[in-house]
Chain A
Amino acid sequence: MKQRTLTRLLHVLGLAAALAFALFPFYWMVSSSLKNQVDLLASPPVWLFKPTLAHYADIFSDERVIKGVFNSLIVATCTTIAALLLGTPAAYALARFEFRGKGDLWFWFISNRMISPIVLALPVYLLAQSLRLLDTHAVLVLMYLTFTLPIAVWICTDQFRSIPADLEQAARLEGASQFGIFWRIYLPLGLPGVAVSAIFSFIFSWNELLYALVLTRRDANTAPVVATSFMTGYELPWGRIMATSTVIVLPVTIFALLVSRHMVRGLTMGATK
């Protein structure tokens, strides 16, 4: 009996340690955003302090931060919509049809998940420069499709496969067109998968830095670019940096919690179900 109490104790200690490990940097970011400058620069750092919302008032009156968040919203939303518009029909074809070259196509879609953004950032910078697309939302939306489209295709294919093929047969007997079948049967019944892929597309676009850093200058700067741009000069405005970081991370964290059951599936593109 004593042995059991001990293992139960170790179990709870281990779980608490894992919880602290997972949440500490997040906690430190939020708590730092609520410290005044003196507490922020205290050495050693203080754990108990009088919280202040001054940094949030600061950043919400800072035009650059507002614009950055606004740009991020536009880019992430447009990317998500485009990924679904292009990805769901493709997923339907991959889920329900057999055709030559399907394996290769699949490989090509998935391999986009692995490619370093720097490989595309170099040529796209030159191309966007000559097309006058630098510093626009459009170029970011296009580049973000390189990783959101494969994810939408993967998750939706998986979802559409689970829809019984009988339904399709029945609809066809009633004279439904192929597109009608996709639109009236697959999209509504596959909605959970469509929603999950939408959330993933949004999170990944929202979190991206490299493309945004090299393809935007001023007008289309996204929130992560603005947050990192505070990192210049000698005296760093830590309160503002951490407040902006919190504003960036909080919404996607909530989204991620909504799809937490699918998190691994989204990140691995189907390695584990």
Chain B
Amino acid sequence: MPGESRRTPLFFLAPAVAALALIGLYPTVFALVTSFRRYNLTRARDGFPFVGIENYRRVLTDETFWDTLALTGKFFLTVLPVQILLGIAIALLLHRPGWNALRALTRVSLVVPLATTYAVVGLIGRLVFNRDYGVANQFLSWAGIPALDWLGNPTRAFVAISVMDIWQWTPFCALIFLAGLSMVPVEIEESATLETSSRLSMLRHVQLPYLLPGLTSILILRSADVLKLFDMVFVLTRGGPGAATELVSVYIQRVGFRVFDMGTASAQAILLLVLTIVLSRAYIRFVYREIEQ
């Protein structure tokens, strides 16, 4: 555009950039500095001396830290396939013509889990999975399975946080896949319906290519979300019993705010940040291709 000075965009961008630098970058630098210090709040009288890479060495040889990362990975691999398969199924149901009112209602209702406060999802989970008066055990009793102690058992507590996550995020996958399905040109879909009566080959040959871009975003965003996941798990299990549901963000919160070892926690947080930046890079690569070039 002619007639505009090079400074103009600066004038419009400066406030946002300054604000994000102040609240995002500055604390990150502060965390980086803290990660090189012995910074235990319960022993503030000893001061906070620089200790070089000692915190990093400790974190990288700390089995618990690796365990929580592995657990986070296991959680991701547990919930994601379910969310993707259920999401595709729901998207196909919503895409198929017929039952228009019910379809519209179901589509709108998918927004409800997504908008529910994460902490409240945890609270609902506490009630639903209660051993004595939880409705989860009532469902099981209808199938003839005796009542189980969910939140007191490591494996079942893990199942409980998985179920709540699947409830909250399956709609997200369904809506993304639905957006993908609506991109399939109508003529192609119609002629394919005439040629083949098999739903499966229709899905595979006609619809699948339109689902793949959405799948990439789901993979990257959900892995970032699982690394961030704190609220729901903290409220539902506090990471317990033992460390059975202690995902990486929950663990770092415990080291920082319940053990008050800020130095170690900062080192862990910086490592988590590095992981996240790699993920965001990948996301930008795939999703914003046109902007990067």
Whole-angstrom distance between the Cβ of B56 and the nearest chain A Cβ = 15
The stretch of B57-65, B187-195, B225-233 in contact with A is: B225-233
Contact A227–B120 (Cβ < 8 Å): yes
Are A40 and B117 also in contact (CB < 8 A) when A25-B124, A92-B12 are?
no
For B99, the chain A residues whose CB sits under 8 A away are 8, 11-12, 15
Interface residues of A in 88-139 (CB under 8 A from B): 89-90, 92-94, 96-97, 99, 102-103, 105-127
For B257, the chain A residues whose CB sits under 8 A away are 125, 214
* Whole-angstrom CA separation of A117 from B175 in the bound complex: 26
Contact A267–B31 (Cβ < 8 Å): no
For B262, the chain A residues whose CB sits under 8 A away are 122, 126
Would you give the 0/1 interface string for B218-237, flagging 1 where the beta carbon is closer than 8 Å to chain A?
A: 00010010011011001100
Q: Would you call B201 an interface residue if the criterion is a C-beta within 8 Å of the partner chain's C-beta atoms?
A: no
Partner of B235, one of A106, A126, A209: A209
For A87, the chain B residues whose CB sits under 8 A away are 16
Whole-angstrom distance between the Cβ of A146 and the nearest chain B Cβ = 5
Are A231 and B171 also in contact (CB < 8 A) when A118-B272, A270-B288 are?
no
The stretch of A48-56, A189-197, A253-261 in contact with B is: A253-261
Partner of B249, one of A116, A263, A271: A116
Minimum CB distance partner of B120 in chain A: A245
Count of chain A residues near B, Cβ 8 A = 105
Interface residues of B in 63-102 (CB under 8 A from A): 89-90, 93-94, 96, 98-99, 102
Are A122 and B16 also in contact (CB < 8 A) when A107-B280, A214-B257, A228-B123 are?
no
Q: Interface on chain A toward B: helix, strand, loop, or mixed SS? A: helix
For A44, the chain B residues whose CB sits under 8 A away are 133, 137-138, 141
Task: Determine the interface band of chain B, counting residues with CB < 8 A from chain A.
Answer: 35 or more
Whole-angstrom distance between the Cβ of A23 and the nearest chain B Cβ = 5
Q: Would you call A187 an interface residue if the criterion is a C-beta within 8 Å of the partner chain's C-beta atoms?
A: no
For B3, the chain A residues whose CB sits under 8 A away are 172
For A146, the chain B residues whose CB sits under 8 A away are 20, 23-24
Q: Would you call B112 an interface residue if the criterion is a C-beta within 8 Å of the partner chain's C-beta atoms?
A: yes
Interface residues of B in 128-159 (CB under 8 A from A): 128, 132-135, 137-138, 141
Whole-angstrom distance between the Cβ of A11 and the nearest chain B Cβ = 6
Contact B291–A123 (Cβ < 8 Å): no
Contact A28–B135 (Cβ < 8 Å): yes
For A271, the chain B residues whose CB sits under 8 A away are 176, 213-214, 217, 221, 287
Contact B102–A15 (Cβ < 8 Å): yes
Listed residue (A16, A32, A43, A206) with the most chain B CB atoms within 10 angstroms of its CB:
A43
Interface residues of B in 1-17 (CB under 8 A from A): 1, 3-4, 6, 8-13, 15-17
* Whole-angstrom CA separation of A148 from B141 in the bound complex: 44
Contact B119–A15 (Cβ < 8 Å): no
For B19, the chain A residues whose CB sits under 8 A away are 82, 86, 145, 149
For B248, the chain A residues whose CB sits under 8 A away are 116
Minimum CB distance partner of A272 in chain B: B179
Are A268 and B176 also in contact (CB < 8 A) when A23-B109, A248-B120 are?
yes
Contact A23–B117 (Cβ < 8 Å): no
* Whole-angstrom CA separation of A271 from B288 in the bound complex: 8
Contact A40–B133 (Cβ < 8 Å): yes
For B17, the chain A residues whose CB sits under 8 A away are 90, 105
Contact B23–A207 (Cβ < 8 Å): no
For B161, the chain A residues whose CB sits under 8 A away are none
Whole-angstrom distance between the Cβ of B139 and the nearest chain A Cβ = 10
Are A178 and B4 also in contact (CB < 8 A) when A25-B121, A127-B27 are?
yes
For A143, the chain B residues whose CB sits under 8 A away are 23
* Whole-angstrom CA separation of A250 from B234 in the bound complex: 22
Whole-angstrom distance between the Cβ of B227 and the nearest chain A Cβ = 6
* Whole-angstrom CA separation of A32 from B15 in the bound complex: 46
Are A106 and B288 also in contact (CB < 8 A) when A12-B102, A86-B19 are?
yes
For A213, the chain B residues whose CB sits under 8 A away are 234
For A23, the chain B residues whose CB sits under 8 A away are 109, 112
Contact A245–B123 (Cβ < 8 Å): yes
For B34, the chain A residues whose CB sits under 8 A away are 122-123, 126
Partner of A149, one of B12, B16, B109, B217: B16
Please give me the 6 A-B residue pairs with the lowest Cβ-Cβ distance, nearest first: A256-B115, A271-B217, A90-B16, A111-B280, A93-B12, A123-B30
Residue pairs across A and B with Cβ atoms less than 8 A apart, 28 shown, are A11-B93, A15-B93, A18-B106, A22-B109, A28-B135, A44-B141, A90-B15, A106-B284, A114-B228, A116-B276, A118-B249, A119-B31, A120-B24, A122-B265, A126-B30, A142-B22, A146-B24, A169-B1, A209-B234, A210-B231, A210-B234, A224-B119, A248-B120, A253-B112, A264-B175, A272-B180, A272-B213, A272-B217
Q: Name B's A-contacting residues (CB within 8 A).
A: 1, 3-4, 6, 8-13, 15-17, 19-20, 22-24, 27-28, 30-31, 34, 89-90, 93-94, 96, 98-99, 102-103, 105-124, 126-128, 132-135, 137-138, 141, 164, 167, 170-172, 174-176, 179-180, 213-214, 217, 221, 224, 227-228, 230-231, 234-235, 248-249, 252-253, 256-257, 262, 265-266, 269-270, 272-273, 276-277, 279-281, 283-284, 287-288, 291-292
